[in-house]
Amino acid sequence: MKEPLVLGIESSCDETGVGIVRGTTLLANTVSTSMDEHVRFGGVIPEIASRAHLDAMVPTLTEALATAGVTLEDVDALAVTSGPGLAGALMVGVCAAKALAVATGKPLYAINHLVAHVGVGLLDDGVYGGALPEDLGALLVSGGHTEILRVRNIASDVELLGSTIDDAAGEAYDKVARLLGLAYPGGPAIDRLAKEGDPRAFRFPRGLTQPKYMGSPEAPGPHRYDWSFSGLKTAVARCVEQHDAAGKPVPVADIAASFQEAVVDVVTSKAILACREHGLRNLLLGGGVAANSRLRELTAERCAAAGISLAVPPFSLCTDNGAMVAALAARVIMDGRSPSELSFAPDSSLP
């Protein structure tokens, strides 16, 4: 089968993305973000994100086609994120994709956003050179998700090994940044500030690491590979309050560094535990928090110690984008899967 030319649309959160691939070759990856419109609220406002997708969809599509040097007629198939994500935001991408499918008669593939994050590993961008390794784990850390996946076959067999039971790691960064008086998005601000602080100044909690949550390797406990960040956020809030109540200046850099160390320590330790216990010798890092300097450093260090080979895609492919949707759809098409029925609905809590 010839390599299909696939156009993928992503709109699950605040990025409107259109990516175009030919098989495993990336031709365009155009992204428009509504991040600036959410800044004054300190987090993504779903209604604003949905409206921004409406405004950005056609310009993003037009730019991606121009960058790839193709027309809609040239495209073999369309793909779109159908979930998980914000319901209204997903709806804009799904409606756009269905409209294109009806207007052009091209087949449409509904794609799972989380699996698509792993799909970037299919591209010939040097991470894996177009084919995923067999024993692959994927650590996805963003404002919306914190997950460790086992990928046996990206088109048909992806297992969720662990996830956050409350806030996503990026969400914890954003909430703690607000407590420290830093602007949204908090991740990059804390990452910068932490470099001036002492990560050992405060010992903040590592959620779900006490023995009662860890089960055993033979029968992994319900929370062995899961995370919780709400207790950590509360501990930071209490620390700030105690300094305020005592009339002492809040040591923001030390708090930022200690908070970051707690997040990165527990994220990497549980992900590597899951990889080791499932014989996964490769780990792909994805999501916006993959930009974090300390997360990259400690993951690399601990992977090396555990004999796990770590791959970190370029940042433009770590954050939400359309190329990952198109790349996964191209793989699914080459595996011979039928297109989705046009009656499918977006599913904000797609497993």
- Least separation in angstroms between residue 288's CB and ligand KG4 is 2
Q: Taking CB under 6 A as the criterion, which residues in 190-219 touch ligand KG4?
A: 191
Minimum CB–partner distance for residue 49 and ligand KG4 (Å): 11
Nearer to Zn ion, 10 or 254 (CB): 10
Helix (H) or strand (E) holding 151: strand 146-153
| Residue from 186, 199, 220, 322 binding ligand KG4 (CB under 6 A) | 186
As a whole number of angstroms, the distance between CA 242 and CA 253 comes to: 16
The pattern of x and - marking residues 272 through 301 that bind ligand KG4 according to CB under 6 A reads: ---------------xxx-xx---------
7 three-class SS: strand
Helical axes 252-277 vs 293-306, angle rounded to 10°: 30
Cβ atoms of 57 and 322 within 8 Å: the answer is no
Residue choice 319, 324, 325, 330 for contact with ligand KG4 (CB under 6 A)? 319
**Count of C-beta atoms within a 10 Å radius of residue 347:** 16
Q: Which stretch binds ligand KG4 (CB under 6 A): 62-70, 152-160, 183-191, 297-305?
A: 183-191
113 annotated ligand-binding residue: yes
Q: Which residues contact 218 (CB under 8 A, 6 or more apart)?
A: none
- The reply on whether position 174 binds ligand KG4 by CB under 6 A is yes
Closest by alpha carbon to 333, among 173, 151, 122? 122
> x/- contact string, 134-173, with Zn ion (CB under 5 A)?
--------x-------------------------------
For helices 252-277 and 186-194, angle between their N-to-C axes, nearest 10 degrees: 100
Continuous segment of H or E residues that includes residue 12: none
What angle in degrees, to the nearest 10, is found between the helix axes of 186-194 and 293-306? 70
Residue 320 interacting with ligand KG4 (CB under 6 A): yes
Residues 91-130 vs ligand KG4: string with x where CB under 6 A? ----------------------------------------
Is 29 annotated to bind ligand?
no
CA-CA distance, 157 to 147, in Å (whole number)?
16
Secondary structure (DSSP) of 18-82: EEEEETTEEEEEEEEE-HHHHGGGTS--HHHHHHHHHHHHHHHHHHHHHHHT--TTT-SEEEEEE
Judged by CB under 5 A, which of 272, 320, 325, 328 binds Zn ion? 320
- Contact stretch for ligand KG4 (CB under 6 A) within 102-110, 148-156, 185-193, 331-339: 185-193
Indicate the annotated binding residues for Fe cation: 113, 117, 320
Indicate the annotated binding residues for substrate: 140-144, 174, 187, 191, 292
Contact residues: Zn ion, CB under 5 A: 142, 320
Contact residues: ligand KG4, CB under 6 A: 13, 142-144, 170, 173-174, 185-188, 191, 287-289, 291-292, 319-320
